[in-house]
């Protein structure tokens, strides 16, 4: 699979460039297959996961083991982060998944990581002022590895395979086995030494299974839930061995699995981000991808199981009567009574709010600083007071009083006042026309000829006044 190998090498090259960003931000978190640390840490498996994606696999995380997952997964990459064993329920689920036929499980055994080899290999590339710091970090990580080696317990073993701790770390110098690269005798050995090996003998494996889990493949020992012996023989074949005979990559098969198999890698550093910067580990990863992709009826669907010692939840269908759970409890008595009332109350609330629903109206907002609104308001007030005539009179008054103008286009000439009407003296109603005519006129004093002439012209005779009064009666009757 040359295209997959080319993409893998490209990915590894990009990862190496990221590692060269600096030593102060080096991440050494072990065993992550997802998240940012899976790609940024030298001990993560993000590069191996990305290589599977480039080969055409669809990947997903397996945080919960379900029956649907059994049918939709062809490859499971099991990468524990520590030496704690997987819970027995998950082991039983994994065995039943392998019985689905043509399934592949890749188990990557955890180790101490590659921090020491990273500082040692990058020391020649470091600046001169930082080489002493690189040596100090390499020595510190080496001491930490020795402490972890003495403090760690034996690696967990399962009913399919057994992992043993080597008496001392072994450097891979020359390999043999079916997966040995052909014609490549000058390939440099991996930098990280081996800490564990895979037992390939045919002895029955000893498995830790709780007695509460009854499986037909395990012998029942009353009162002993700790250790049981598997009665099923599994074929274990080494794929890669060192010259000393230590198997670090092995294959486990069984007749009941229907062409399913387990590929066991005893050292996780062989497939880590830092490990895949080395040519022999790249060939190993490419060989695993080729074998899995060439499996019969493989749908190229991969799942990553990344447990850190916590128990995985296993979901399976029950054979009994289905029991309501979750939202189905709302339909079971007596909760269903509250559910019906709640639905009815919600319907009433929706009907109450229905009249106010609809498209919102657009409301025009007036700005207080618009001078045009002030002019409109003044014009409206002037129109209410008298219209254009009132406005012109105010302008004319302003021109006359403030500017002293007497003529002009805005000056309104005032009309002359009308002459006063003559004043009529009313006579008593009882006086008749004849009586009124006999009343002598009052004597006038002739002191001034002009005054006499005015008084004679402006006064009325008694007869003329009486006739005028009689004619001015509202009922048209004459005064007798």
Q: Average pLDDT of 297-325?
A: 76
Cα–Cα distance, 61 to 166 (Å, whole number): 32
* The predicted structure's pLDDT at residue 386: 80
Domain ranges of the chain: 2-314, 426-440+447-480
Burial of 217 (0-12, 13-18, 19+ CB in 10 A): middle
* The predicted structure's pLDDT at residue 107: 95
Asked if the model's pLDDT at residue 413 lies above 90, the reply is no
Q: Average pLDDT of 306-314?
A: 83
Per-residue pLDDT tens over the stretch 233-289 = 789 999 999 988 899 999 999 988 988 999 999 999 999 999 999 999 999 999 999
The SS3 assignment for 414 reads coil
* The predicted structure's pLDDT at residue 58: 92
Q: Average pLDDT of 138-152?
A: 85
* The predicted structure's pLDDT at residue 468: 43
Asked if the model's pLDDT at residue 460 lies above 50, the reply is no
Q: Average pLDDT of 93-105?
A: 91
Cα–Cα distance, 386 to 474 (Å, whole number): 37
Q: Quick one: DSSP state of residue 218? A: B
Question: If pLDDT is split at 50, 70 and 90, which confidence band does 220 have?
Answer: very low
Which two structure tokens, joined as six digits, stand for 461? 């005779």
Asked if the model's pLDDT at residue 359 lies above 50, the reply is yes
The pTM of the full predicted model, rounded to 2 decimals, is: 0.59
Asked if the model's pLDDT at residue 168 lies above 70, the reply is yes
Question: If pLDDT is split at 50, 70 and 90, which confidence band does 4 have?
Answer: low
The lowest-confidence range among 130-134, 347-351, 410-414, 455-459 is: 455-459
């Amino acid at each position: 699979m040359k295209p997959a190998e080319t993409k893998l090498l490209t990915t590894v090259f990009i990862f190496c460039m990221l590692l060269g960003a600096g030593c102060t931000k080096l991440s050494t978190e072990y065993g992550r297959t997802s998240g940012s640390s899976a790609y940024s840490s030298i001990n993560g498996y993000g590069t191996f996961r990305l290589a599977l994606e480039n080969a055409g696999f669809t990947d997903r995380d397996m945080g919960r083991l379900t029956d649907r997952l059994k049918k939709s997964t062809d490859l499971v990459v099991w990468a524990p982060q520590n030496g704690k064993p997987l819970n027995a329920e998950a082991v039983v689920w994994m065995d039943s998944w392998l019985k689905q036929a043509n399934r592949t499980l890749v188990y990557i055994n955890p180790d101490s990581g590659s921090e020491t080899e990273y500082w040692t290999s990058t020391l020649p590339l470091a600046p001169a002022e930082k080489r002493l710091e690189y040596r100090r970090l390499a020595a510190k990580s080496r001491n930490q590895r020795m402490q972890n080696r003495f403090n760690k317990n034996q690696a967990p073993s399962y009913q399919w395979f057994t992992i043993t701790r080597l008496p001392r770390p072994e450097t891979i110098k020359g390999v043999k086995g079916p997966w040995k690269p052909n014609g490549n005798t000058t390939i440099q050995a991996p930098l990280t030494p081996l800490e564990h090996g895979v037992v390939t003998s045919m002895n029955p494996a000893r498995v830790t299974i709780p007695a509460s889990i009854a499986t037909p493949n395990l012998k029942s020992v009353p009162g002993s839930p700790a250790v049981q012996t598997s009665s099923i023989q599994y074929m274990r074949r080494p794929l890669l061995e060192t010259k000393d005979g230590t198997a670090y990559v092995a294959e486990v098969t069984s007749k009941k699995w229907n062409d399913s198999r387990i590929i066991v890698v005893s050292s996780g550093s062989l497939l880590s981000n830092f490990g895949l910067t080395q040519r022999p580990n790249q060939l190993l990863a490419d060989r695993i991808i080729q074998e899995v992709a060439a499996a019969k009826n493989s749908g190229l669907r991969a799942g990553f199981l990344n447990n850190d010692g916590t128990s995985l939840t296993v979901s399976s269908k029950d054979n009994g009567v289905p029991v309501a759970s979750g939202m189905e409890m709302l339909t079971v008595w007596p909760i269903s009574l509250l559910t019906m009332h709640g639905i009815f109350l919600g319907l009433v609330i929706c009907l109450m709010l229905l009249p106010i629903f609809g498209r919102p109206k657009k409301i025009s907002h007036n700005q207080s600083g618009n001078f045009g609104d002030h002019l409109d308001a003044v014009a409206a007030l002037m129109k209410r007071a008298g219209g254009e005539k009132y406005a012109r009179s105010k302008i004319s008054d302003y021109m006359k009083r403030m500017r002293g103008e007497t003529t002009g286009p805005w000056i309104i000439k005032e009309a002359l006042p009308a002459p006063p009407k003559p004043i009529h003296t009313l006579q008593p109603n009882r006086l008749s026309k004849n009586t009124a005519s006999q009343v002598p006129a009052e004597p006038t004093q002739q002191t001034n000829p002009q005054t006499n002439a005015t008084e004679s012209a402006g006064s009325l005779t008694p007869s003329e006044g009486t006739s005028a009064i009689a004619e001015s009666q509202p009922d048209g009757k004459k005064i007798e």
